Amino acid sequence: MHFKSLIASSLISLSVVTAAFLADVDFQARVKQGYRLIKTSPTDTGAWVTDEEKISNYTGKCVHFVDITDIKDPAVLSVFNGEKDNSRVAAIAAVTYPAVSHQSEANGLIAQLNTSGPQTWLKSLTDFYNRYYKSTYGTQSSTYLFNTVKSISAANTRISVSQFSHSYAQPSVIARIPGTSPNLIIVSAHFDSTGGSSTARGPGAVDNASGCVVLMETLRVLANARYAPRNTMEFHFYSGEEAGLLGSGDIFRNYKATGKNVLAVVNTDMAGYSPSGKISSYNDYSDTGLLAYVRRIITAYLGSYTTDTCGYGCSDHASAYSNGYPAAYVCDEPDRTSTPYIHSPNDAYSTVSFATVLRHAKFTMAFLIEANYV
C-alpha cells in the first residue's frame, strides 16, 4: 500500500487525540464490540469503524489511515499528529551513515541472486484466495511464509526464524542473522493483502508478495553463503499492514519497550511493476540521513532513482519512524505510474515484472552489506 491520501493534512496538538481517548468512556466497550479507532490525517481526531469498513471504505478506496486503537505512547501519537518528537530527533542524529565502499563484497553476493525462487514463492503467495489478516487464508499464508523462510534459512544454522504473535490470527515472521553486535539493521515487507473487501479475491502480487520475495531471495543467498555480519540483520514480514499498520506497529512498540537499538529500517512495499525501470525512494516518514544513504547506495549499484511522497501512514516504515527508529521506504515506481491494480482482484501474478523484483533484490543486498559497517 503506498497510494496517496485523499485527505488533506496539517498539524494539530497531541492533546486532541489524547482527549479523544480520555473523553470516550466507552473506549473498551467499543473495542469489545469489534470497532477500531483510526486516523486519516494529522488533523483527524479519530473515527470508530469496523474491520470491514476499514477495508471497504478506506483501503479499498485509496484513503490512508493508521489504526491507533492500541497506541498509548504519547510520543508515537505525536508523530501521527504531525508534531516533532525531539527525543527521536536526537536519537536519529546519533547514527552516522558512511560512504558506500563495500562494492566488492556486495557484488559477489549480488551475482548469486536470481528469479527462480521468487517466481515459485510469489506464485504460492498469490494462490491463496486472499491474505486478509482476519481470514483463514491470512492465517494459512502466514504459516506458509514461516515454513518457507525457515527452509530458505536452513543452510545457515545460526539463522533463527520466529513468529511474532498479534491479537489476530496472522503472526508476522522475523528471520534473524546474528552479528557480533546486537545493533539491528532491518529490511521489511508486509505479506497481507486485500482485494477491496474482507471477502474479495486478493492475490496481492505486486502489493506486496513482490516485496516479500525480494527479502526471501536476499536471505537465501546470505544463508547459502553463511554470511556472518557485524551488525545483526533482521528480515521482517509484517501482517495486518492493510488494516492500518497493525503488525509493524506491534513489533516496533515491542522493540521500543525492550530497548532494542535499531540503526536502520528499510521497508519495501511493492517491487514488481516499474515502467521507469528504476527504484523509487520516497521522502515521507523517512529520516534525512538514512534517506540520503539509501539513495547513495542505489546510485552506486543501480544508477538513477525516482522519488515521490506517499502520504499519511502509507506503509510499515511509518511504524518504525513513529517509534523513534531511522526509517526509509523504497518501492518500484512513483505513485502516478505505479500499478493500476492495487487492492483489487487484478493484482495478479501475471502483472509482475521479475526483472523489477531482481532489481530490488540487488538493492536490498547492497544495502545490507553496506549497512553492515554502520
Active site amino acids: 190, 207, 241-242, 269, 343
Long-range contacts of 153-161 (CB under 8 A, 24+ apart): 153/219, 153/223, 154/223, 155/223, 155/224, 155/226, 156/222, 156/223, 156/224, 156/226, 156/227, 158/226, 158/228, 159/219, 159/223
- Measured from the Cβ of residue 94, the count of other Cβ atoms closer than 10 Å reads 8
Question: What is the edge-to-edge ordering of all strands in the sheet holding 231-238?
Answer: 160-164, 172-177, 231-238, 181-190, 262-268, 327-331, 280-282, 306-308
**Single-letter amino acid code for the residue at 45:** T
- Measured from the Cβ of residue 274, the count of other Cβ atoms closer than 10 Å reads 25
On whether the CB atoms of residues 14 and 74 are closer than 8 A, the answer is: yes
Instruction: Look up residue 104 and give its three cell numbers.
Output: 566488492
Cα angle vertex 206, ends 201, 211, to 5°? 120
Of 291, 163, 152, 276, nearest to 225 by C-alpha is 152
